[in-house]
Structure 1
């Protein structure tokens, strides 16, 4: 039985994943040594770098799991787990060093291909071509190359001019958009002011309407009171409580004189 599995299934699983990555790295570097194309070597190194990055992550997980199991394991088991982790780190560092070596060789090869390879062939070709030409052919060839250079310069000038024109148009468009945004902001300010003014006017109208309603309600109560008094007076004309109200008091009784003629 795997001793790591006896301690923790997570540790055993991580150990298996790390072992798979180490096998893939070994096969990958062996394959890299057989590749001659610089671009393919670069892609292969990128793939190997991704695998090493994943391996580093797994080793960190392994270390965290070891620290979590430290309290429930004895000293010998903990020592064995640390030695296993150190072994993983050591093997990963060896692949990192191998990757740096291949990366350095790859950069040197690219530098040689860029500066040495094309210039040699081009120089030899020009020497052979010039040695087989007459003076007139050389002059014609020089004139032709000068014409091509002038045309290339003209094209470059045209590109620069087009770029300047595009930049000018872009600046004008940005200026127009900026002015438009300023107008929009001013309009929004005006709208906001109008809304505040309208809100204030609505509040004033609301207060005036409320005042009018109170007055109408008071007048209504007065009218109701007057009607009630009239009804009460008609029903009970002798009611003393409303005798003194103008227009509603009962008619005065005929007074008798103390002395009446015979």
Structure 2
């Protein structure tokens, strides 16, 4: 870089601080290439981002100092200071590009820690220029562009909110339908439980009735067996006196003789 001999101590001090940061950034990115762990890479990248942010602030102060002391220097000195500033901006942008490269490779989704757009040495890219180096028209164009981007972001946010509301309404309707269906299922289960209870009681009644009928049939069967047994015994042993006393099984009484039969 060109020497800053003959300029104020403030500009020379700022130039030294910026040069120190550039050396730290160079060493930091060289170290970053050797780190394999993603978490360590992320922490190293955040540290380098902080240094770039500090460097950007110092470049703004350097540019402001040039404008304040412009009248004190000749044309060649002012030209040298302007070229020095552009060189600083170019070098910073090279580190910003490296930061973006590593952020993309790490799939870094965090909010960008670098506050504001990156600086640029030429007026052709308004997004990267320092505000202090922009003309009024460039500032207005940049402001309109940022407003348009903000409006688009707000519109996208509104669309997302509307879609979220619609999804929520559909979810609520589905939950209500499922709740109604569950209530119907519970009612049907209650009806089934009541029917099962009634059927159980009916089965018990039928069981008691069948048991009673079986007892009666058993008694009838025993009576029939007794009668059959008596008949069999009577046939086998007709002179059995114990059987003659049973009504209906006693032998027939001797026939009565009529008076005219005797005569």
Q: TM-score, normalised by structure 2?
A: 0.51
Hey, what's the Cα distance between the residues in 2 that align with 1:255 and 1:146? Answer: 144
For the residue of structure 2 that corresponds to 1:237, the secondary structure is coil
The yes-or-no answer on 1:36 pairing with 2:31 is: yes
The corresponding residue for 1:174 is: 175
Hey, what's the Cα distance between the residues in 1 that align with 2:143 and 2:30? Answer: 43
* Deviations 1:160-218 (CA, angstroms, capped at 9, x unpaired): 11111111211221222222222222222222222222122112211211111111111
Aligned 8 A contact 2:32 2:44 in 1: no
Name which of 124, 129, 153 aligns with 1:126: 129
The yes-or-no answer on 1:242 pairing with 2:232 is: no
* Deviations 1:109-141 (CA, angstroms, capped at 9, x unpaired): 26726965733762562227963x573x55444
The corresponding residue for 1:187 is: 188
Larger relative helix fraction:
1
Return 5+ residue gaps in structure 2 as ranges: 1-27, 55-95, 97-113, 121-127
* Structure 1 residue ranges, 4+ long, deviating more than 4 angstroms after superposition: 41-46, 105-108, 113-117, 254-257
CA gap 1:221/1:107 in 2 versus in 1, 3 angstroms: same
Q: TM-score, normalised by structure 1?
A: 0.51
Aligned 8 A contact 1:35 1:41 in 2: no
The corresponding residue for 1:152 is: 153
The corresponding residue for 2:207 is: 206
CA gap 1:128/1:106 in 2 versus in 1, 3 angstroms: closer
CA gap 1:36/1:211 in 2 versus in 1, 3 angstroms: same
The alpha-carbon deviation at position 36 of structure 1 amounts to: 2.1
Larger Rg: 2
Superposition RMSD on alpha carbons, in Å? 4.0
The alpha-carbon deviation at position 40 of structure 1 amounts to: 3.7
